[in-house]
Structures are given as structure tokens and as C-alpha cells.
Structure 1
Amino acid sequence: MTAGLDGDQQLVTRLGELLGPRHPVAAAAVVTPAGMRVASRGTDADADADCDAHSDAASDSAPAPVSASDFEIGSIAKAVTGLLYADALARGEITPDTSLGELLPLADAPAARVTLRSLSTHRSGLPRLPKAARPWRRTLALWRYGTNPYGENLEQLLDQARGVALGTPRSRYSNLGFELLGHALARAATTTYPELVQQRIASPLQLDCFYVPKTADELRPEALNGRSRRGRPRQPWTGEALGPAGGIRASITSMARLTAAILDGSAPGIAALDPVAPLGAGARIGAAWITVQVKGRPITWHNGGTGGFRSWLGLDRSTGTGVVILSATAASVDRQGFTLLTERRPGQLPI
């Protein structure tokens, strides 16, 4: 599906109606069996065409069109890690009962006993973040100064994990868990997480702007600057440890191609989307991917949020339809994503 990758005027109009002035730099994609439609505001929708070309980044003073723009996709990275988990199972590199200690140097720490299956469904007993990371202090610094609350390298992450006590294995969202899961999968494949993403997802699916920067120095010149809900600049969220849980950046066209590949079954690890456990009231979870009933239809989705970005990816697998919304402002786009995906009756396609 390669048609419609330029800005689609009907979708541009709908994107403006849904997001309003609060999201001056944003992009959306609608994928159907008929093809893809991509639209943007304040940036270039046809991002992948010049993904490796150098251009001036957006200024800090006002949103401006940027060539080959990429966004932080936040926790949609967990959904990508879920695909990699299911793919590793299919390859025989791991089993659901493989423990972290079999792949990562955690010695006799409690976290070493955690299974990859429990990590993939947020049922490991690990906390959202380790206390050693001082999450409240970092969150305060983010609010006040816009600083990146992450940034650990892999060895620092492992050192933090060695000191974590396990809670009751129950449904509990864990950034730490998905960080460890992704790096364990990379070890099983004898590579690094950024290379695993490149080798098994970005390259095979031709996602030209889809990468995992370990430091701010690794950002492309076209990387967008994120802003708070009040429009204040935010540092990019980079860090080797963060990658599998929230450290991927992507353009809207790469996200559209990923969505199309998931829907047509050509992406690796599609079994990750199949729900296997409850997640809160009325929802079920596969390997990171969440399924809920909306207007009588099962919708499979994940969202993401960083200091300066919000994202949403949703799929109606029964109609082969998917929607992605990316914004360079830290205000939720979940409601708009669900609306864009489900605002037509079953059997009709959005936009």
C-alpha cells in the first residue's frame, strides 16, 4: 500500500477538527484495505521521502514545517517490544517461561526470577519504576525545567533492577518491566535493542524513519521538539535503558506502514495482539497490546506519552482498518484516536 502518502486534504480537515489549536504540530494516518491516507499540521506529512536528508529543525519560538519530521511515540514502543517478544517466541529464541536471569546479569536478585511472559502482560510484580531512579524527584524536574527524567544506560538499569523487590504478581503497568523485557529479547538475539528494532521491524518493513536513539546526539536533524500542554519546551526523552518501554522515534509515514504491515500480517510477532489476560475493567491484554470493546467492536490499541509528545495507535482488525495520531504537544490524543477509528458504522471505513 503506497498510495496516498502525501497530505490528504480530507484527513487534514478532520485532524484540525479533532485536535483544535492545542496541537499545532501533529500528524495522522488512516490505513484501510484501499490504502493509506496521511495528513499533518505544522510539519511535513511526506516525511520518509527525505528521512536521511539534513534540514533546519523547528525553532523553539514557534511551530514550523519541518522536513522528514519524527516524533517520540512514547509507550507505543511497548507495543513494538510486544511484537518482538512474540517474534522471538516464534523463532524459538525464548519460551514464555524464560526468566530474566537467564538472559540478563541479575545474579540472585528477585527480578532474575521474573518470566518474560509475565513482563509482556504487566503481571510480573515489578513496580512501575525502581525507587533507585528517584522517580518523584525526576518528575518534579520535568515539570519545572522540562528535563528528561530518563537517560540511564543499560548497566545503570540493571543495577537498579538488582535492588528491586517483587510485589504480588498482578496486573500492574510497569515501565521497568518493559525496559528489561526488551533488553532481554536483544540478548537472546545476541544484539542490542536498537539493532533488534532495525533488523526485525524497521528494515524488513521499510520504515525509513523508525529508530531508537540512546542519546540526544543520535537524534536526526529533523527530529521534532516536543512541548508541554502549556507550550513549554521539553527535552527529548532518550536513554539506552528507556528504548523498549518508550524510546522509539518515528515519522507518521513509518507509523502508517507499520500499521498496514500489522493489519495485513506481514509484520513480525502478530500474535502479540491476541489478548491472553485481563487488564482492568473491561480490557484484555496480549503482549502489551490492549483490546477493548468500543461501539460493539473489538479495538486493539496502545497509546504513548512523553514530556513533550502524545501518540495513539488503534486497530479494528475485523475491517482491516487502523489509525495513528502523533502530536508534538503533551496533551492526550486518545479520545481523538478512538473517534477517528470508530466514527463510521461497522462495514464503513473512516475518512
Structure 2
Amino acid sequence: MSDLGARAGALLGPRHRAYVVALVTPAAAEVDAVGTGDLGVHADVELGSVSKGVTGLLWRDALARGELAEGTVLGEHLDVPEQLAGTRLSALATHSAGLPRLAGVDVLRRSWELWREGRNPYREDLAGLLAQLDGVKVARRPRPAYSNLGFELLGHAVAAAAGMPYADLVAARIAVPLGLTDTYVATSVEDLRPGAVAARDRRGREVEAWTGEAVGPAGGVRSSATDLAVLLGAMLDRTVAGADALDPVAPFAGRMRIGAGWLTGDLLRRTVTWHNGGTGGFRSFVGIDRDHGVGVALVSASTRSVDGAAARLLAEAGDRP
């Protein structure tokens, strides 16, 4: 275990038994993976809602390519009901479209299955997601409201405009250009690679991985410590596709502002651009402090938060001379 892994472990506490961490500073990039077996820093983990940040990058990249425009609406690229057809993709990217957090009539049942049995609640394909939309209501006076559904639809609309599935879009425009060999979207359990770390709940029980075509843009991206370090570096130097997704353009919650998926606000007296995530068996945080040129990614195979530990690592890195 490296000094970085040991420090992350001390901040996380003993109940986090398997985690990956990446730290990028102007001087170097460091990575570690604790409890992931022989696969180490190439073991892939679930990023959860950090995937929304990836989708934000892809949305802004599609704008730069001319595949989409700021005024593009959902109905131009996805077969959605009338009440959703006029929803602007730009509003989805800032959680301001007035969509509910989730779609479907069996949310309670799936939530119960997740808690009781560790089942993946997001297991449908894109067709299954679209079939759930008939009863979805759009708020008449939308306020910023976090929506998994909104980012699912945003990502699949961006992918449709590019003429490929979302998983292929992540590979073509994020993973391959940056050389991210461990970053991918698993649309089924069969897609999981040998390096996939098992998801575990708060009790340490192994639970189902969150795979599925529909959830990909909102919570289905997987990555490793090695790849996350590269991604952080590309975010800091703005060589990642769609880098202006990181720039805040609208108010969100409290004093936070939002770009395309990415939040910006004060963490431990520093201005940080970040996203966190949670699945049935992982918690994640990816953030950069652009003023100090540092970035941190921390993902644990647990349902216990990693946000505080990640923020502390980021602050400590920024304090280094």
C-alpha cells in the first residue's frame, strides 16, 4: 500500500475494505488500489452518478462538433411522449428541465428489492426506459432538481445524434482519445470484465452490479484508479472532450452552481468542481481544484460515503508547496 492509499484508508476508516484512489498535482500523478486483489490499479469500479459528468462532457463535445445545438430538444433524437418531446437538452444538462428523479411505476418495488436482496434497480434497456415515459409529468415552473431520468435521456439523445449506442460513444470520444483502457459501460452482467470489483453494501454483502443500457449515461460508467488519474489530468488541462462542461453556467442547490452535470462550489474553503455517486455497492467522488491544479478521485466498494475523505485529500494536496 502506498502512502496515498494509506492516507485515504485512514480518512475513510476501517469499514472501507476495498477502494481505489487517484491524486493529481502539478508535480505528479499517484494511484493506489486497496483490497482489489492482483488486479490492483487496473481493477474497475462503478462510478455511479459521476457518469453524469461524463455525459455532460459528451453533450458539450457534441455541441462543438455541430451534431447538436443549444436549442435541440429530446423529440428530435428519441421517441418520447409529447409532454417530453420539447424538452431542451441544455435544460437536462443542468437538472432544470422539470423532470422527476425517476420514471416507472415500480420504483417502490425496485427500491425494496435493492435494500432486501441487493438487486440492480436499473436493469432495463433503452427501449424499456422509453416505454416507462408515458406517465411522466414535467413541472410547469421547473426549478433545479436532480434527475437520474433526465441524464439517462440526455446521454441517449447525444448518442443517437452521433449514430451510436451510449457505451460506444464513451469509448470513442472519452476512453480511446485519452488512452483509458479500463473505462467502459457495461450494458449487462456479461459485459463486466475480469477486473470488475464486486459491489458490496453497508453490511459487506456482495450485491448485483449496476449494469444496463438505460442507466449508462446516469450511472453506468466503470473505471480504474489508473484511468481516473488520466481523466483528472485531462480535466485540469482541459484536453478532455467537452471540457467546457466543467464551467458553471447556472445556480443549483445552496451556493453551488452547475455546468453540464458538474457542480462547482466551496469544499473546505476551496472552489471545487466535482461530482459524487452512489450505487447498490459503491460510493464515489471525482473533483478538481483548478486554482491549485489538483484533482482527486476516490471510489469505495461500500455504501458508506467517501465525500469527506476525498475533500480532505483534495485540500491537503492543494496545501502542498
TM bucket by the smaller chain? over 0.9
Q: Which of 44, 66, 77 does residue 92 from structure 1 map onto?
A: 66
Q: Which of 234, 241, 246 does residue 273 from structure 1 map onto?
A: 246
Q: CA deviation at 1:284?
A: 0.5
Q: Which of 124, 133, 143 does residue 161 from structure 1 map onto?
A: 133
Q: CA deviation at 1:16?
A: 1.9
Residue-by-residue CA offset, 1:248-306 (whole Å, 9 max, x unaligned): 11111111111111111110111001111111111100001000123442111000110
Query: What is aligned with 1:58?
Result: none
Task: Please tell me whether the aligned partners of residues 260 and 322 of structure 1 are also in contact (alpha carbons under 8 angstroms).
Answer: yes
RMSD of Structure 2 on Structure 1 (CA): 1.4
Change (3 A) 1:157 1:131: closer
Percent identical: 50
Q: CA deviation at 1:35?
A: 1.8
Bigger mean CA deviation after superposition, 71-80 or 18-27 = 18-27
Q: CA deviation at 1:334?
A: 0.5
Equivalent position SS for 2:272: strand
Query: What is aligned with 1:251?
Result: 224
Q: What stretches of structure 2 of length at least 5 have no aligned partner? A: none
1:184 aligns with 2:150: no
Q: What stretches of structure 1 of length at least 5 have no aligned partner? A: 1-6, 44-63
Letter in 2 for 1:82: G
Task: Please tell me whether the aligned partners of residues 42 and 66 of structure 1 are also in contact (alpha carbons under 8 angstroms).
Answer: no
Q: Distance in 2 between matches of 1:343 and 1:266?
A: 25
Q: Distance in 1 between matches of 2:72 and 2:300?
A: 37
Q: Which of 9, 16, 20 does residue 23 from structure 1 map onto?
A: 16
Query: What is aligned with 1:318?
Result: 291
Q: CA deviation at 1:320?
A: 1.3
Residue-by-residue CA offset, 1:301-325 (whole Å, 9 max, x unaligned): 0001100001101100112110000
Letter in 2 for 1:222: G
Q: Distance in 1 between matches of 2:236 and 2:128?
A: 37
Q: Distance in 2 between matches of 1:309 and 1:295?
A: 24
Equivalent position SS for 1:162: coil
Query: What is aligned with 1:125?
Result: 98
Letter in 1 for 2:8: L
Q: Distance in 1 between matches of 2:173 and 2:39?
A: 28
Q: Which of 219, 224, 231 does residue 192 from structure 2 map onto?
A: 219
Equivalent position SS for 1:292: strand
Query: What is aligned with 2:57?
Result: 83
Change (3 A) 1:36 1:101: same
Equivalent position SS for 2:280: coil
Query: What is aligned with 1:56?
Result: none
Task: Please tell me whether the aligned partners of residues 111 and 162 of structure 1 are also in contact (alpha carbons under 8 angstroms).
Answer: no
Letter in 2 for 1:159: A
Q: Distance in 2 between matches of 1:345 and 1:146?
A: 38
Residue-by-residue CA offset, 1:177-198 (whole Å, 9 max, x unaligned): 0000000000111111001000
Q: Distance in 2 between matches of 1:40 and 1:217?
A: 24
Q: CA deviation at 1:65?
A: 4.5
Task: Please tell me whether the aligned partners of residues 97 and 117 of structure 1 are also in contact (alpha carbons under 8 angstroms).
Answer: yes
Equivalent position SS for 1:125: coil
- Report the TM-score, using the length of structure 1 for normalisation: 0.88
Q: CA deviation at 1:13?
A: 2.0
Q: Distance in 2 between matches of 1:335 and 1:220?
A: 30
Query: What is aligned with 1:144?
Result: 116
Task: Please tell me whether the aligned partners of residues 268 and 312 of structure 2 are also in contact (alpha carbons under 8 angstroms).
Answer: no
Q: Distance in 1 between matches of 2:29 and 2:5?
A: 13
Letter in 2 for 1:98: T
Task: Please tell me whether the aligned partners of residues 76 and 313 of structure 1 are also in contact (alpha carbons under 8 angstroms).
Answer: yes
Task: Please tell me whether the aligned partners of residues 109 and 163 of structure 1 are also in contact (alpha carbons under 8 angstroms).
Answer: no
Q: Which of 253, 256, 265 does residue 292 from structure 1 map onto?
A: 265
Q: Distance in 2 between matches of 1:334 and 1:294?
A: 10
1:59-70 paired onto structure 2 within 5 Å: 64-66=37-39, 68-70=42-44
- Report the TM-score, using the length of structure 2 for normalisation: 0.96
Q: Distance in 2 between matches of 1:12 and 1:169?
A: 43
Query: What is aligned with 1:103?
Result: 77
